[in-house]
Amino acid sequence: MRIHSGERPYMCEKCGFACNKSSTLKTHMRTHSGERLFKCEVCGHACNKSGNLKNHMRMHTGERPYICEVCGKTYKLRDNLKTHIMKHTGERPYKCEICDYSCTRSCDLKTHMKKHTGERLYK
């Protein structure tokens, strides 16, 4: 019932991440501990979540299950397909509050903001 109510009683004391299941919090805590239970048998890369290992394995198998219905381009990750689709729709959800710059990815906006703050892009 917590899913529908939005209740998130389990909270990470290190970063404030909140969730509705204790098992989700337990998995999240691996990001802080560095514990990586899922290891790639091909190259030894280790992950803290089984889903991350599944995504990693696509690098070895070449599997690209996410297909753009507009142009047919394929992707290993669903989020990459979502970002790609924005090129077709023209959606640019990340907008600079200082100038009229907008983009499809939050990391691009973060890089752009450094131009306004004077922070060096590469150290």
Q: Residues of 94-108 as b/e, b for ≥16 C-beta within 10 angstroms?
A: eeeeeeebebbeeee
User: What CA–CA distance (Å, rounded) separates 91 from 43?
Assistant: 38
Residue 5 has pLDDT above 80, yes or no: no
Condensed to tens digits (0 to 9), the pLDDT of residues 73-119 reads 999 999 999 999 999 999 999 999 999 999 999 999 999 999 998 87
Residue 2 has pLDDT above 80, yes or no: no
Condensed to tens digits (0 to 9), the pLDDT of residues 9-47 reads 899 999 999 999 999 999 899 889 888 889 999 999 999
Q: What is the pTM of this model?
A: 0.67
